[in-house]
Amino acid sequence: MATIASTAAPRGGRPEVDARRRARRRTAVLAPLLVLALAASIVVATTIGSADLAVGDVLRSILSHLGVPRELIGANPLDRLRDGIVWQLRVPRVLTAAAVGAGLAIAGAVMQALTRNQLADPYLLGLSSGASLGAVSVILLGVAVVLPVAAFGGALLALAATLGLAGALGAITPTRTVLAGVAVSSLAGAATSFAIFWSAEQDSYREILGWLLGSLAGARWPAVGIAGVAVLVIGLPLLLSGRILDAFAFGDTTAASLGIGVQRTRWILLGATALLTGALVAVSGSIGFVGLVLPHAIRLVVGPGHRTLLPLSALVGAVFLIWADTLARSAFAPRELPVGIVTALIGAPVFALLLARRRSEA
Amino acid sequence: MSGAGTGTGAGTGAGAASPGLAVAGLTVRIGDRSVVDAAAFTAPPRALTALVGPNGAGKSSLLRAIAGAERPAAGSLHLDGADLAALGRRERARRLAFVEQDAGTELPLSVESVVGLGRTPYGALLGGPDRDAAAAVDAAITAAGIDHLRGREITRLSGGERQRVLLARALAQHPRLLLLDEPTNHLDIAAQLAALTLLRGLVGEGVAVLAALHDLGLAAAWADHVVVLHEGRVVAEGAPLDTLTPELLAEVYGVRASWLADPNTGRPVLAASPLR
């Protein structure tokens, strides 16, 4: 205890701000703002793109698709082509971005808490490399499965391999799981690279690269369904696990003495997180940064308590990925960037800025 | 308050129906080694019971097993007559609380959130705090004397302050039995006495306290009841000075020891030197 106390002593002797009150005040302001920002982002991002569309027209088109009666909003103002762009392309893509962003942020925050590892991300247990291998098998080798299904299957196989390996090493502990994940990731990564090196041609090469770097280019309504259901069915319950994750921060013994079934709870949470991530990676490829750094950024602003951290991370993740993807598809239109490049390009400097601010505050 | 107090001689054969904690035949194995071997003793209600013994005697394993963090290989645990093994985890956590040794965290939670974790066995596992949480947290914070620390981050507190916060978390569980592993470890002498005074206050309110203590002097001066653990076995139990005899200390610790009286309070003070 003495060593922890000395390393964590107040730096620089400045008066310490009341952490609890500061976190509460920020949460109270941020939460409603973020909900509004999410709603606005969905509408505004839908209007952005090659065909110039007015916000009001887009809104009326969306509302008419949602079944709002004509008497209230008038006829759908868009012609068939433009309406198709809005309803068949942009709306599902924006919604997928929102779901994937929210889901990745939740999965990352939970994974960091479960493994007590700040560098943990949703793909930690070999999920993304497994999914990549599945996807590459489809694109290159012509395995006759739909791409998301192959990616999801690959992710689950990698997860099973990771847990199996960790279990074969003895009792399954967070550290062993992480190490086993590293081994499985490397192996699947090597297999993927080999497949690409051996058989990729010009066209498929770009498709693969887009997938490996994460892309929402192909997201239509089925993608919304997969990512949306995963976030609603798995992500929402995970949002409520904040208190358990807080208790885990004090170690397994304390968590057990608080009445938590430590082993069982850890594996349920880990399994749920992995399933959620598998579903997301199946529709978007592996999008970096969001799950790893975003929870850290939120932590710097509202504090580390998971009961506020998880929902705020989800909201920020959704808004962030909507705009990152909008930038990815419009910055160099008609060419698209993989959204993973954009998330890292924007995210890394923002995070560095937050770190610097935190330092001057503390 | 001190040593010679309640030495009721509640022996190893105490029945399951007696109040307080009754441990019988408790065995804890790590690998194929029995770190606790058929331990039997009681921790009476309204009493501070000190669990003493040399390093590696099995004190921490014993406490962890009672707290439900370790599954015992054999034996029974009864609290106020109820079989702990028959209770669910959460029900158990409402009756007994555990303050681990050096139970730190790197997560800079606010003191209030940490104390709020003590309500975990009461609220829904997924979701917010229970209805009585706010009042229970306030009361625990006041009882532990940490009102001034409420909004601070736990990672920035001193060892003594953090110990009080973890104690407050345990109190928020409203336990009938409070387990502590080396609660005075790493504390300066004033903080040690403050921590023990706090525990005595809880005892006065009817909580059974079972604390592993390294310092035999503190055990003799502050506990009502002493349990001596040696190589996983309970070798003696009873009122402090009747139990911690020079002969026993020579056998268990290999030291030559005698008890003196504190010139200020008359409480026992241990003087020890190596045997030979």
* pLDDT 10s digits, A7-18: 344 444 344 456
CB < 8 Å to A19, chain B? 108, 110, 151-153
> Are B144 and B118 within 8 A, CB to CB?
no
Q: Is B276 on the interface with A (CB under 8 A)?
A: no
Residue B4 has pLDDT above 60, yes or no: no
Residue B62 has pLDDT above 90, yes or no: yes
Q: What number of residues does chain B have?
A: 276
Give me the pLDDT at residue A63, please. 84
Residues 6+ apart with CB under 8 A from B103: A250, A251, A253, A254, B166
Domains of chain A: 30-361 (1.10.3470.10)
Confidence band, pLDDT 50/70/90 cuts, at residue B175? very high
Mutation to test the B interface, candidates A257, A296, A302, A308, most B Cβ within 10 Å: A257
Give helix then strand counts, H and E, for chain A. 18, 0
| Rounded average pLDDT over B225-229 | 96
- Among B115, B28, B17, B16, residue whose Cα is nearest residue B66: B28
Domains in chain B: boundaries: 21-245
Give whole-number Cα distances, B219 to A199, A291, B42, B58, B245, in Å: 74, 50, 16, 17, 13
Confidence band, pLDDT 50/70/90 cuts, at residue B1? very low
Percent of chain A predicted with pLDDT > 90 = 27
CA–CA separation, A352 and A361 (whole Å):
14
How would you classify the pairing of strands B74-79 and B96-99?
A: unpaired
Amino acid, res. A131 = A
- Please give the mean pLDDT across all residues of chain A: 83
Phi then psi for residue B81, to 5 deg, are 90, -15
Burial class of residue B187 (count of CB atoms within 10 Å of its CB; 0-12, 13-18, 19+): buried
CA–CA separation, A319 and A314 (whole Å):
9
Give the least confident one: A143-147, B42-46, B96-100, B137-141: A143-147
| Rounded average pLDDT over B120-139 | 86
Give me the pLDDT at residue A344, please. 86
CA–CA separation, B255 and B60 (whole Å):
23
- Among B23, B96, B104, residue whose Cα is nearest residue B58: B23
Give me the CATH topology for the region B21-245: Rossmann fold (3.40.50)
ipTM at complex level: 0.86
Amino acid, res. B94 = R
Which residues of chain B from 144 to 183 reach within 8 Å of chain A, CB to CB? 150-153, 155-159, 162-163, 173, 179
Per-residue confidence of chain A (362 residues) as pLDDT tens digits? Answer: 333 333 344 444 344 456 666 767 777 888 899 999 999 999 889 888 776 777 788 888 888 888 877 777 777 777 778 888 888 888 999 999 999 999 999 999 999 898 887 778 888 888 888 888 888 888 777 766 677 888 888 888 998 898 888 888 776 677 888 888 889 999 998 998 888 888 767 777 777 777 788 888 888 898 999 999 999 999 999 999 999 999 998 888 999 999 999 888 988 998 899 889 989 988 888 888 899 889 988 988 888 889 999 999 999 999 999 999 999 988 887 788 889 889 988 888 887 887 787 666 55
> Are B121 and A259 within 8 A, CB to CB?
yes
Give me the pLDDT at residue A12, please. 40
Give me the pLDDT at residue B232, please. 92
Residue B50 has pLDDT above 80, yes or no: yes
CA–CA separation, A130 and A186 (whole Å):
10
CB < 8 Å to B152, chain A? 16, 18-19
CB < 8 Å to B111, chain A? 20
Residue B5 has pLDDT above 50, yes or no: no
Give me the pLDDT at residue A212, please. 82
Percent of chain B predicted with pLDDT > 70 = 93
Residues 6+ apart with CB under 8 A from A116: A174, A248, A249, B106
Helix crossing, A221-230 with A262-284: angle to 10°?
170
Q: Which residue of B has its CA nearest to A236?
A: B126
Give me the pLDDT at residue A205, please. 77
CA A9 centroid distance within chain: 34
Q: Residues in chain A whose beta carbon is closer than 8 A to a beta carbon of chain B? A: 1-2, 4-5, 8-10, 16, 18-21, 23, 116, 237, 240-241, 243-244, 246-247, 249-254, 256-262, 303-305, 307
- Map A322-336 to HEC letters: HHHHHHHHHCCCCCC
Whether residue A304 and residue B108 make contact (CB cut-off 8 A), yes or no, is: yes
Mutation to test the B interface, candidates A1, A239, A240, A310, most B Cβ within 10 Å: A1
Whether residue A20 and residue B107 make contact (CB cut-off 8 A), yes or no, is: no
**Nearest-CB residue to A259 (from B90, B100, B112):** B90
